[in-house]
Amino acid sequence: KKFLNFSDFDTTYISPNRYNYALMLEHFTNYEYYSVGSATPDPQRLRFSPKPHNKIGVYFGWRWIFLGWAIDADGLYGKKSGKKRGTEFDLSLYSSKLGVDIIYRRTGNSYKIHDVTGFSDRIPTDYSEDFDGLKVKMKGLNLYYIFNNRRFSYPAAFSQSTNQRRNAGSFIAGFSVSTHNLDFDYTKLPDIIRETMNPGMKVDHIKYTNISLNFGYAYNWVFARNCLACLSLNPAVAYKTSRINKAEGEKDDWYRNFNIDFILRAGVVYNNSKYFVGTSFVGRTYDYYRNNFSLNNGFGTLQVYAGFNFCLKKEHRKKKRQ
């Protein structure tokens, strides 16, 4: 019963939310990158990233759950293009003891090539070129447990459902599983890159499953009245099993290996229990290395939000009348 009690915290460090509901306006920007590399005969690396994708949404909250609707903001900024947009879905639920992240991403075709390393000397250092030969689909689930949950509050920094009153930190342990599907049509690369490309980078399709255990630390710093800054870093030991479809009729390969991934969370928020405003960032990296081929990808979501709580809970309405 104690394990399932999500309200069991030290009130000298954490004060509970006095309201039943919340309304919030939010702007969020999604970032991502993919990096493909090979070590022989000479080290080479190509980095791809799309333009950041912006959305604006209105959300209704009950305790630590927020539900809402968001629209693509790029059209409002006059940035809409004819290129196919990807699909992103990131849901994070924070309670005092347990947390969960659910992730789904499918890329569009708005990538640019940059950070070209180890290819022709004729390629300038500020090289940038459109590329529509990369398509990625990723699904993932992340579960974690907060050890010092009576004094440290993740919800205070990321879901505004409690208030952190004193500085506190906590060790965090978690489990993650994700699947990654990457289609890489290297024949669409510019000639100046393809003509000196290592054979190990000529991969048609990569499918890998990522299973990891992560352990890290998070700290809440109350730097002023009602003001909180949070930083959390969880390195993860990840077991990866993958199938690589090689080009030019070569035999497909199955690989199994271990790598290190990372989960980063950071946030700054002002919350006087009635009104709140803040910003947060959640980022993840996935690294894959095997023999003569490597794949690194990472993505993050930057949020800027403002809102207010309303409808006092019964116990606080009684206290107010006394």
Q: What is the spatial distance between Cα 317 and Cα 45, in angstroms, rounded to a whole number?
A: 61
Residue 68: CA atoms inside 13 Å, Cβ hemisphere, count? 20
Which of 305, 218, 300 lies closest to 270 in space, CA to CA?
305
- Pairing of β 19-38 and β 275-290: unpaired
- DSSP lists the bridge partners of residue 176 as 142, 212
Q: What is the pTM assigned to this prediction?
A: 0.84
DSSP assignment of 79-137 equals ---SSPP-EEEEEEEE-SSEEEEEEEEE--S-EEEEEEESS-TTS-TT--EEE--EEEE
| Predicted local confidence at residue 3, as pLDDT | 41
| Lowest-pLDDT choice from 20-29, 86-95, 293-302 | 86-95
pLDDT digit string, tens, across residues 124-142 = 878 888 888 888 888 999 9
DSSP assignment of 135-201 equals EEEEEEEEEEEETTTTT--HHHHHT-SEEE-S-EEEEEEEEEEEEEEEEE-GGGS-HHHHTT--GGG
Q: What is the spatial distance between Cα 292 and Cα 287, in angstroms, rounded to a whole number?
A: 14
The residue assigned the tokens 């116990």 is: 315
Mean pLDDT of the region 69-77: 69
pLDDT digit string, tens, across residues 243-287 = 766 555 545 555 677 788 899 999 999 999 899 999 999 998 888
- DSSP lists the bridge partners of residue 303 as 28, 280
